[in-house]
Structure 1
Amino acid sequence: MSQVVKGRAAGSHYSASGGLPFVAGIDGVGRLDDGRRVWFVLPRDPFGSMAEQTVVPVAQCLVLPDDLDDLTAAAIANPGMSSWVTYTERARLQPGETVLVNGATGTSGRLAVQIARHLGAGKIIATGRDAEALREVAALGADVTIPLTEDAAALEERFKEQFAQGVDVVVDYLWGMSAECLLIAGAKTGRPGTPIRVIQIGSVSGATITLPSAVLRASAIELMGAGHGAVPLDRHLAAVEALLKAVAPANLKIAFHAVPLSDGTRAWDRDDSRNRTVFVV
């Protein structure tokens, strides 16, 4: 269960139709009539994935690799897709480049660190508020960690140190104050004429920021998004297919807990960004 699922159910996500009837859930793992195990996405309205059966175009079903179990596939596909699409479709990450993951302690951020390493990043910088979680992220492959517990001025200085050394790609799951600080720091200390590709994915820390116009004039920052409007569905599907094939060979790790769908009401409001909830029928 993702924040997108909750947002669509509440009608607050940009992709929500607001129509009734409505079944929650945008993706999952199941079996086709011929017995093949598949990951699927975007069931036809008003159907959703949180059900015993659903209706999905066959083109939106991906056969699972034999070395990947159902629960791991269901847990990892959505959060892993966000960074895989970002690196391959938007940032066009090149081997040896430096990646900064802003908001690396949640499920998606942890995968963003691991996937960056798998795709050849030379240096990975990770941010987060929780010190223990940042230590765990370092163990997953982050070379530098930056705590987001300081005030804006101190945080900007932390970011300046890293941008002065060179940052090629920023993956932002937070927006809010930390995004403001890193954009300003990148404009002030980034290498002149060298693009910094900033890809915005989530808004955990706020839906808006105040960005001085000089940030864009005084730097080569390229600010873009990686949602459904930025990358077509077929490219999202290609990214998930590549991700699912890489889970076992790359030893990608994700923490999750399986919950019977019958307990969905109690699990719905559980707030645990480090453990993915997977509903099981």
Structure 2
Amino acid sequence: MKAAVVKGAGQPPVYENFDHPEALAGHHLIDVAASALSQVTRSRASGAHYSSSDAFPFVAGVDGAGRLEDGQRVYFFAPHAPFGALAERSLVPVTNCIPLPDALDDITAAAIAIPGMSSWAALTERARFVQGETVLVNGATGASGRLAVQIAKYLGAGKIIATGRNPAGLESLKRVGADITISLEQDENSLSRAFESHFHQGVDVVLDYLWGPSARSLLIAAAKASAGAYPVRFVQIGSIGGADIQLPGAVLRATAITLLGSGIGSVALPRLLHAVKEVLNAAVPAGLQIATEAVPLADLNLHWGGSDSLARTVFTLGSHE
């Protein structure tokens, strides 16, 4: 079968033949229809992710949409090694397969599952979000952050504050649920003042997709402004703004900030899959939007290194090609 095959550490996958998976107890053989090019897929393939394997060769791809042996459409996650999602067929534990709603197409399901799960799990599993609370999404102009704004709105946030660098992207967030937008393209003092004014009014949950300087400014602003009056649950999800920050210890002593992480490892897999199921079932009735670019898996080498910050690249197989 055709697949995206990783042959060695640090090497990008190549489109070539790979052995078909064989039936295995407790697993489904899945005819893959679509699989998104996510940051997790890239980092696992490169060996940079903490869940990466050093056994080669293997097929890249952590999740996707496809059909079971009986024709049922499902979303699937974490195929059995060495088989991945970027292949004509995959082998997946039965417990990692979720039936897809009839109204949700394969490409949208593959595109929306992981970014939707990131904010849904962060809100419900880690922050224990309550309807009516104020949510600040740091890094909301990317695909995941934009979806986080929509999901926070759907789950009943009383006010949503969104940050980002893209002016057009920030403006468009107002159409999908953001009440207030803050540009990160300003000097540190101006940005801190902007953050402090909102923390004075009360911010309950921060969903942070960036880390780095903007997260540091947010945490310091929360400490200065709220002084314990408004407890803040700060949920760290992504770190495209920087892997590390230098944070004064006084920030955590000065106010009731709870620092949390959300992702594979900090949330049990069954709960992550439950969050994915909730996202997939809500996608159509909630009108959740995510930009996608569908391309045949045969064009793997043309798209592997591209950015998915604004639109999710979804590789298609079979009848979708």
Q: TM-score band (shorter)?
A: over 0.9
Q: Which residue does 1:213 correspond to in 2?
A: 249
CA offset at residue 191 of structure 1?
Answer: 5.4
Query: The residue matched to 1:40 in structure 2 has which SS?
Result: strand
CA distance in 2, matches of 1:23, 1:153: 47
Q: Which residue does 1:177 correspond to in 2?
A: 213
CA distance in 2, matches of 1:45, 1:195: 43
Match of 1:59 among 95, 119, 122: 95
Match of 2:268 among 227, 232, 246: 232
For the Cα contact (< 8 Å) 1:187–1:216, is it kept in 2? yes
TM-score of the superposed pair, with normalisation by structure 1: 0.98
Please list the CA deviations of residues 112-151 of structure 1 after superposition, one character each: whole Å capped at 9, or x if unmatched.
Answer: 0000000000000000001011011111110000000112
Q: Which residue does 2:134 correspond to in 1?
A: 98
Match of 1:192 among 203, 218, 228: 228
- Give the partner amino acid of 1:76: I
- Give the partner amino acid of 1:209: I
For the Cα contact (< 8 Å) 1:99–1:124, is it kept in 2? yes
For the Cα contact (< 8 Å) 2:161–2:178, is it kept in 1? yes
Structure 2 counterparts to residues 94-173 of structure 1, below 5 A: 94-173=130-209
> Aligned pair 1:275/2:311, yes or no?
yes
Indicate the percent of aligned positions where both proteins have the same amino acid: 59
- Give the partner amino acid of 1:85: A
Distance 1:265 1:25, change over 3 A: same
CA distance in 1, matches of 2:171, 2:181: 8
Cα RMSD (Å): 0.9
CA distance in 1, matches of 2:51, 2:159: 34
CA distance in 1, matches of 2:67, 2:271: 23
Query: Between Structure 1 and Structure 2, whose CA radius of gyration is higher?
Result: 2
CA offset at residue 7 of structure 1?
Answer: 0.8
CA offset at residue 20 of structure 1?
Answer: 1.1
State which drifts further: 193-202 or 72-81.
193-202
CA distance in 1, matches of 2:197, 2:51: 38
Match of 2:285 among 227, 242, 249: 249
- Give the partner amino acid of 2:277: E
For the Cα contact (< 8 Å) 1:175–1:207, is it kept in 2? yes
CA distance in 2, matches of 1:237, 1:137: 27
Q: Which residue does 1:10 correspond to in 2?
A: 46
CA offset at residue 268 of structure 1?
Answer: 0.7
CA distance in 1, matches of 2:274, 2:307: 30
CA offset at residue 193 of structure 1?
Answer: 4.6
For the Cα contact (< 8 Å) 1:164–1:191, is it kept in 2? no
CA distance in 2, matches of 1:155, 1:16: 37
CA distance in 2, matches of 1:5, 1:111: 19
For the Cα contact (< 8 Å) 1:175–1:209, is it kept in 2? yes
Query: The residue matched to 1:159 in structure 2 has which SS?
Result: helix
- Give the partner amino acid of 1:197: R
For the Cα contact (< 8 Å) 1:255–1:274, is it kept in 2? yes
Higher-strand-fraction structure: 2
For the Cα contact (< 8 Å) 1:110–1:137, is it kept in 2? yes
CA distance in 1, matches of 2:256, 2:290: 35
- Give the partner amino acid of 1:35: G
Query: The residue matched to 1:113 in structure 2 has which SS?
Result: helix
